[in-house]
Structure 1
Amino acid sequence: MRKRIRIPVLYILIGMAMTSCMKDDFLERLPESDLSEPTFFKNEADLKLYVNRFYTVLPVAHPANDDNRSDNHVPSNINTFLGGTYVVPVASGGEDWNWENIRAVNYFLQRYQRAEESDEIKARYAAEAKFFRALFYWNMVKKYGDIPWLSKDLDETSEELYDTKLPHKQVMDSVLADLNFSVDHLPLAGGAARGRLHRDAAAALKSRICLWEGTYRKYHGLGDEAGFLREAAEASELVMNSGNYDIYSTGNPEKDYYELFIQEELEGNPETIMAKRYIQDELMHNVTRQLGESGTGFSKSFVRSFLCTDGLPASLSPLYQEDDSIQAEIADRDPRFKQLIATPGFVFQVGTDGTPDVIGLPRIGTSVTTTGYQIIKGRSPDIAQWNANRSTLDRFIFRYAEVLLNYAEAKAELGEADQLVLDNTINKIRQRVDMPPMVMGQLRKDPESPFPDLPVLIDEIRRERRIELAAEGMRFDDLQRWKAGELINDPESILGMKLHPDVKAQYDPGQISGIVLDENGYIRVYPGVNHREWDDKMYLYPIPTQELTLNPALEPQNPGW
């Protein structure tokens, strides 16, 4: 359905003046010719115009490559970070030690009170700004750990330019304060202008960040995790109790999950907390096309994690038919298998003449996928969506299923998960695909679990998260917070489907001549390489060396770099 309501593209072109040293990152400043303080920040229009600039960086999932830095995907080129070839940057810039957005938020927060508007209106835009500051600081903490906390914009004379780093926990306490302000002062979902932040979106971000921080503190031994886990649960409950959301379902368990991610219009979808809307000739994207030529694929490690339709892991279920063929591998498995991965019968594309391109054998030996497990989440068969940079399929920023998963995990980590918690979270998600409910007293520990020492409940909640949020860019954050980076060393994290001789014989020899198999017949994506190597230093990135030289107070460098 063509969208009829046009929304503004949220851009504001505010130039940033740059100099040439460490001060660049703290001091990218608004030039006086573009924005004059005596005449700006005078009314709501000014506040909105300024804050609009941050909307372009809302976290939108990119299923073609967002999980390439994890054990879920196997890109054709080894990720430099996971492959151990990442080089400590010399200069900052781009994604490295970049403070531009944080300074821009602080600039606003020191001036927005000048507007001749009610306190309620001013607080609303301050809440938007603090939402983004929390997001920006969280991303910096995830990447670098201990960092400075700057709560005002600085100039070249500011002593704070040479501040030392603050402990991770102290920074995240300030992040939580910003999140709480946003939740308290943003309008309810029904009272927000179309496309703007609202209370439930802030609570969804708080749910995500607080779960990350609480589990990071627990599994990295920082302590004081219970408070953040409690905040994650309460933020999730706020969204759940609003009555505004539900799991999308039309009653078709074989298609509903797949079709959720190929919708032209997510506004009004019950699972949408916030989405990025795309409109023909106004704002479009290229994700659908990239999914057809992504040069990546799901890993064997990921595929093994699908339960069988009796609710048991493949290692325990009598229904599992092994993996000598894709038909055997998908038999009696979680229906999301066929809605995430291109399997026989999947309509890859419908031509302009209405002729469908239907998958027979899994695609291998091409740029479509590396492993035979081709990613189809977000891949529409509509040929119009495949045209380069012309896709108008909406994409989620926050969706309800994630909030339910966050709540289940937080409650389990707090030791407070009971059957009611599971019924209100995991089992609602499973109902969409007609999978058996998770029942507390019937859980059995998977002997092939990647987390052998975890309680079975937390283990199975993590499995559900891995499947439901696949290709949404959260897997590396999960491995990081669980201190589970060593899963990158799993040999199956770089393997694809099994090419049994009977299956291999069905392919044209020229198509598979360059494919390398391991000793068990599985596609090996990186010939000559044992596997990607995890080192615990990789839980953090290194600070650019120039920054350490210009500000010795930032020493020491992150461990191991």
Structure 2
Amino acid sequence: MKTNRLYISILALALAAGFTSCDDFLDREPMSTVDPEVYFTQVSQLESYANQLYENILPSHGNWSYGIFGEDSGTDNQTGATANNRFAEGLWKVPNKDDDNWKFEWIYRCNFFLQNVLEKYGTKEDGSENTIMGDLASIKHYIGEIYFLRAYEYFKRYQKYGDFPIITEPLADDMEILRESNKRMPRTEVARFILDDLKKAYDFLSAKEMATTRINKDAALLLRSRVALFEGTWLKSFEGTAFVPNGEGWPGASKDYNKDYQFKSGSIDKEINYFLEQAIADAETISEAYKNDLAENKGLQQSVNDPANPYYDMFAQEDLSGVREVLLWRQYGRGLVTHNVNVAANRGNYMNGVTRAFVNNFLMANGEPVYKHGSYADGDGYYRGDKTIADVRINRDGRLQLFLKEPGQVSILYENIEGNEASMTEPIPNISETNAERGYNTGYALRKGGSFDQKHYANGGGYTAAVCFRATEALLNYMEAYYVRYGNRGGHVDEYWQILRDRAGITGTIDQTISATDMAQEALNDWGAYFAGNVIQDKTLYNIRRERRCELMAEGLRYMDLCRWRAMDQMMTTPYFVEGIHIWGTPMEHWYDDPENGGSKLIADGSDNATMSSRDKSEYVRPYQKNTKQVGYDGFHWHMAHYLTPLPINQFLVTASDGQTIGDSPLYQNPYWPTTADMPAEK
């Protein structure tokens, strides 16, 4: 019985009976009873199998949410209706049972495919031993897709846990085999495994021209650069700590199978360089291929007579096959697979509010930081201050001007009765609304993802495309990896950086921006200005991080970056308060006047019914300081343990030989997390 629990709940070593596809054979017979000798015999079956994994592994828009654009919520960029438990004292606790984090189901399904299909494909690189019916190039392509999908799924797990079991084949229902398979490999080995899978994917995959709705060679190289940059910078940021192999207190050393671990490169410094150099090489290949074909930014379209903006439309149109910058995208269809991104972008982003800190962080159009032109509240004329949303957009980085919504802007250019959930123009942000679907959490909201065509605004029926990977990330990956590796702006760093600044409409030189940077000021607005609790002093590195933050806004990569930079230690000693628009003592306060009752629609008395933080807390909206019952009322706090996710306790028990002795399990807990269920981090 114990073996069955391990077999199913830990490694998911049986395919779910409900895993079906449009293929007739699968519709007749559950995958758990499929005979691979019968099934994996035609190229169409390989394609059907891969199709089922796409929606469960790759980035996509959720059905009733702001989709990918809301995944930066819980960072210094965006914040949700409630504060994330990872920033609260004692609310993130060790789970007792499995959750969606410690999950092997999709890894198993990839392994099931590869074991059976590679056997039929044979060992010859030219496919001369292949016995699968169909076009050989397509057969190879679908094999490449599964390698990519396994790598992507592993990357998700490894970001959460660091050290992780490496499993490459379906496992027999045998207790000893299953226990052995649970050994956590050092994070550097997992990262190398992911890179190796992506190299295999690249070798098997077709070029991008096959279709950007399917995984291709360029997407594999881009993901490779992301993974390598992640591990190289993580090792550098956490060197010597319990979060890297052989660091002080590394829990992996407690197990015999890891205690004598040696880095493949010979030392951690060489290992850091190995990953950074991999990131540079792969990012350069993609950057060189696409640097002259990035979507043009022509400003915010506000009339049918204005030119369309390819950069804006890249995030808000149905078909991205003609957008060269996009390397991989997910397609949606009316009445088939839909989402609510457009409706969210037409409201308050489902309460994924943009923070004041993020708005402040964008440069002026001349390349200078905001604080060079007066205070944040009051500017010298070039910077107008933040007393209205309109003011903060004037003379700013074109990306902020484009995507930050302003009351009165036209939201719908093309009317269509199919879309009944759209406001024609952007209203005054409803910051006192408690309904998460319609409220504005900080007062600042994005229009990113919002189509100008009303037909996309049927509630729950949006069908604009989702960008999974775009080539611009490669330029950013290269810039950071090269600078961290070599400590200078050699290679293509300035070239790629200037391309991004030009598209954002930023004038002035890179050197002028760096010279004007005041790190004490930047630290007020950007967690990325920190390392290990201290403000970084390298202004060039900081501005590379700033560029990444601004270019990749609301694309779901911010928390990943903050973790690998070790950029949240400062909240262990100094609470952080999330803020939004400048509400008190500004014209925006009067947006909420209630003349009929002789007062304000905003209730700021600290009661349970309060809809706004009081002016004695701050002149700015503080979404988590309306009343003392809110998580985050006393600010955001951090624990070192929170850089990684705790393993669930039942995994220790089912992998112990006696089913009850945690120390007998081949697993070990992540740093500073206890091995007792429902307990918070120890440090």
Q: Confirm or deny that 1:179 pairs with 2:198.
A: yes
Could you tell me which residue of structure 2 aligns to residue 4 of structure 1?
none
428, 444, 467: which one aligns with 1:396: 467
User: Which of structures 1 and 2 has the larger relative contact order (alpha carbons within 8 angstroms, sep 6+)?
Assistant: 1
After TM superposition, list the pairs within 5 Å mapping 1:120-131 onto structure 2.
122-131=139-148
Q: Are residues 420 and 253 of structure 1, via their aligned partners in 2, closer, same or farther at CA, if it must alter by over 3 Å?
A: farther
15, 23, 29: which one aligns with 2:14: 29
Could you tell me which residue of structure 2 aligns to residue 297 of structure 1?
353
Q: Confirm or deny that 1:499 pairs with 2:583.
A: yes
Please state whether the residue corresponding to 2:197 is helix, strand or coil.
helix
Alpha-carbon deviations, 1:240-271, whole Å to 9, x = none? 23359721116447755433321222111122
Number of aligned residues: 542
Q: Confirm or deny that 1:538 pairs with 2:639.
A: no
Please state whether the residue corresponding to 2:318 is helix, strand or coil.
coil
Worse-matched range after superposition: 258-267 or 488-497: 488-497
Counterpart-to-counterpart distance in 1, 2:647 and 2:423: 51
Long gaps (5+) in structure 2: 16-29, 62-66, 122-130, 245-267, 302-308, 375-381, 524-528, 530-534, 595-599, 604-610, 656-663, 674-683
Could you tell me which residue of structure 2 aligns to residue 560 of structure 1?
672
Say whether the 8 Å CA contact 1:256–1:433 is kept in structure 2: no
Counterpart-to-counterpart distance in 1, 2:439 and 2:293: 34
Q: Confirm or deny that 1:169 pairs with 2:188.
A: yes
Counterpart-to-counterpart distance in 1, 2:83 and 2:472: 31
CA drift of 1:426 comes to 2.3
Could you tell me which residue of structure 2 aligns to residue 91 of structure 1?
97
139, 151, 155: which one aligns with 2:168: 151
Q: Which amino acid aligns with 2:590?
A: A
Say whether the 8 Å CA contact 1:246–1:270 is kept in structure 2: yes
Worse-matched range after superposition: 352-361 or 545-554: 352-361
98, 109, 116: which one aligns with 1:111: 116
Q: Are residues 325 and 265 of structure 1, via their aligned partners in 2, closer, same or farther at CA, if it must alter by over 3 Å?
A: same
Say whether the 8 Å CA contact 1:515–1:523 is kept in structure 2: yes
Please state whether the residue corresponding to 2:580 is helix, strand or coil.
strand
After TM superposition, list the pairs within 5 Å mapping 1:274-293 onto structure 2.
274-291=328-345, 292-293=347-348
Q: Which amino acid aligns with 1:28?
A: L
Could you tell me which residue of structure 1 aligns to residue 274 of structure 2?
227
Q: Are residues 533 and 338 of structure 1, via their aligned partners in 2, closer, same or farther at CA, if it must alter by over 3 Å?
A: same
Worse-matched range after superposition: 429-438 or 307-316: 429-438
Q: Are residues 63 and 105 of structure 1, via their aligned partners in 2, closer, same or farther at CA, if it must alter by over 3 Å?
A: closer
Say whether the 8 Å CA contact 1:68–1:296 is kept in structure 2: yes
Q: Which amino acid aligns with 2:14?
A: R
Worse-matched range after superposition: 246-255 or 284-293: 246-255
Long gaps (5+) in structure 1: 1-17
Say whether the 8 Å CA contact 2:86–2:638 is kept in structure 1: no
RMSD over aligned CA atoms reads 2.8
After TM superposition, list the pairs within 5 Å mapping 1:55-74 onto structure 2.
55-56=54-55, 57-60=57-60, 62-74=67-79
Q: Which amino acid aligns with 1:374?
A: A
After TM superposition, list the pairs within 5 Å mapping 1:371-386 onto structure 2.
371-386=442-457
Please state whether the residue corresponding to 2:634 is helix, strand or coil.
coil
Q: Confirm or deny that 1:197 pairs with 2:280.
A: no
After TM superposition, list the pairs within 5 Å mapping 1:124-523 onto structure 2.
124-157=141-174, 159-163=176-180, 164-190=183-209, 192-193=210-211, 195-221=213-239, 222=244, 223=268, 224-243=271-290, 246-249=293-296, 251-252=298-299, 257-291=311-345, 292-293=347-348, 294-317=350-373, 319-349=382-412, 357-359=424-426, 361-366=428-433, 367-415=438-486, 417-418=488-489, 421-436=492-507, 438-440=509-511, 443-444=514-515, 445-447=517-519, 448-450=521-523, 451=529, 452-486=535-569, 494-503=578-587, 504-509=589-594, 510-513=600-603, 514-518=611-615, 519-523=617-621
Say whether the 8 Å CA contact 1:364–1:371 is kept in structure 2: yes
TM-score by length of 2: 0.74
Please state whether the residue corresponding to 1:359 is helix, strand or coil.
coil
Counterpart-to-counterpart distance in 2, 1:365 and 1:209: 41
Q: Are residues 181 and 63 of structure 1, via their aligned partners in 2, closer, same or farther at CA, if it must alter by over 3 Å?
A: closer
Counterpart-to-counterpart distance in 2, 1:442 and 1:96: 41
Counterpart-to-counterpart distance in 2, 1:168 and 1:419: 30
Counterpart-to-counterpart distance in 1, 2:426 and 2:140: 53
Say whether the 8 Å CA contact 1:371–1:497 is kept in structure 2: yes
Say whether the 8 Å CA contact 1:90–1:545 is kept in structure 2: yes
Alpha-carbon deviations, 1:131-170, whole Å to 9, x = none? 1111111111111111211111112116331132111111
TM-score by length of 1: 0.89
Please state whether the residue corresponding to 1:388 is helix, strand or coil.
coil
Say whether the 8 Å CA contact 2:163–2:186 is kept in structure 1: yes
Could you tell me which residue of structure 2 aligns to residue 44 of structure 1?
43
Of the two, which has the highest radius of gyration? 2
Say whether the 8 Å CA contact 1:128–1:186 is kept in structure 2: yes
CA drift of 1:549 comes to 1.3
